[in-house]
């Protein structure tokens, strides 16, 4: 498929209710979908902005902020933008209303079959799917460490709540002598051709040895088993070249704008 075809599939299949399967509530404002999640988080997304001009977009941004401000439980909001959207004045309107842009990431898509390769692992390293609570807590702790986040039970608890919903998410790790050295999630998207790969993390001393590629390959094989032909991910500039080497392509960019109460 061409990049334009992949981008169209991304817009049509993923920028829908499939993007917020775990939302506690969804409200609509024109083409915007305003999601509310547990833990006081709001999330704004849309398939497109319906050709709106700068004046209307500015009104929408102000109305979105008023909507979330009215709920005292909401403490932070993310407005997810995409680089290929026609969105005149959106950046300025978000800044005016107190949103701050975060790091821009690449929207990556590739064929699952192209990622499901055999990878030679270092001696003593194995890849497996984890489902038990101690494994999930160990995986989450390793990811917190790699991402430079404060050690917290909160992330592990969020993952455990997701697992309890049995919504198809799979957790995959690589371990050496019982210690998790790399990990990532697979999130099949219902009623689409896609599965997402998220949360990829590898301990620094284990990088460059094919371990993360093996974790990615395992997730791709699992996706194919579930009938998902395409893999997608939002990638930092660190991980983008890695995924490009695996055969994924950048179809757009995404920049989250964040507001905090």
Condensed to tens digits (0 to 9), the pLDDT of residues 202-252 reads 999 999 999 999 999 999 999 999 999 999 999 988 889 989 998 999 999
Q: Which of 88, 24, 33 is nearest to 56 (CA)?
A: 88
Say what the pLDDT of residue 182 is.
Answer: 98
Q: What is the pTM of this model?
A: 0.90
**Contact (Cβ atoms closer than 8 angstroms) between residue 176 and residue 161:** no
Beta bridge partners of 37: 41
Q: Which of 109, 114, 108, 141 is nearest to 237 (CA)?
A: 108
Say what the pLDDT of residue 21 is.
Answer: 80
Mean pLDDT of the chain: 95
> Rounded mean pLDDT of 86-94?
98
Say what the pLDDT of residue 155 is.
Answer: 83
Statement: residue 79 has pLDDT above 90? yes
The pair of three-digit structure tokens given for residue 202, joined into one six-digit string: 């590898």
CATH topology of domain 110-253: Aminopeptidase (3.40.630)
Residues 6+ apart with CB under 8 A from 131: 163, 171
**pLDDT above 70 as % of the chain:** 99
Residues 6+ apart with CB under 8 A from 179: none
Local confidence band at 131 (pLDDT 50, 70, 90 cut-offs): very high
User: In which residue ranges of the chain is CATH 3.40.630.30 found?
Assistant: 110-253
Statement: residue 171 has pLDDT above 80? yes
């Amino acid at each position: 498929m061409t990049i334009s075809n992949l981008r169209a599939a991304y817009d049509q299949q993923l920028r829908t209710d499939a993007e917020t399967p775990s939302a506690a509530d969804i409200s609509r404002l024109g083409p915007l979908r305003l999601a509310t999640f547990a833990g006081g988080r709001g999330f704004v997304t849309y398939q497109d902005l319906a050709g709106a001009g700068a004046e209307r977009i500015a009104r929408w941004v102000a109305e979105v902020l008023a909507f979330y401000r009215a709920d005292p439980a909401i403490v932070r909001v993310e407005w997810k933008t995409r680089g290929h959207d026609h969105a005149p004045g959106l950046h300025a309107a978000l800044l005016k209303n107190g949103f701050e842009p975060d790091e821009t990431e690449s929207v990556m898509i590739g064929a699952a079959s192209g990622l499901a390769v055999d990878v030679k692992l270092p001696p003593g390293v194995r890849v497996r799917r984890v489902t038990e609570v101690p494994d999930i807590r160990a995986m989450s702790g390793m990811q917190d460490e790699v991402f430079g986040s404060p050690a917290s039970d909160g992330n592990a608890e969020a993952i455990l709540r997701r697992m309890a919903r049995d919504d198809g998410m799979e957790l995959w790790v690589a371990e050496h002598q019982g210690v998790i050295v790399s990990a990532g999630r697979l999130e099949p998207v219902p009623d689409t051709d896609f599965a997402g790969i998220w949360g990829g993390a590898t301990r620094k001393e284990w990088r460059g040895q094919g371990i993360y590629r093996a974790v990615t390959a395992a997730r791709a094989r699992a996706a194919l088993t579930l009938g998902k032909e395409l893999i997608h991910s939002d990638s930092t500039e660190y991980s983008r070249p890695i995924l490009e080497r695996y055969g994924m392509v950048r179809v757009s960019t995404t920049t989250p704008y964040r507001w905090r109460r």
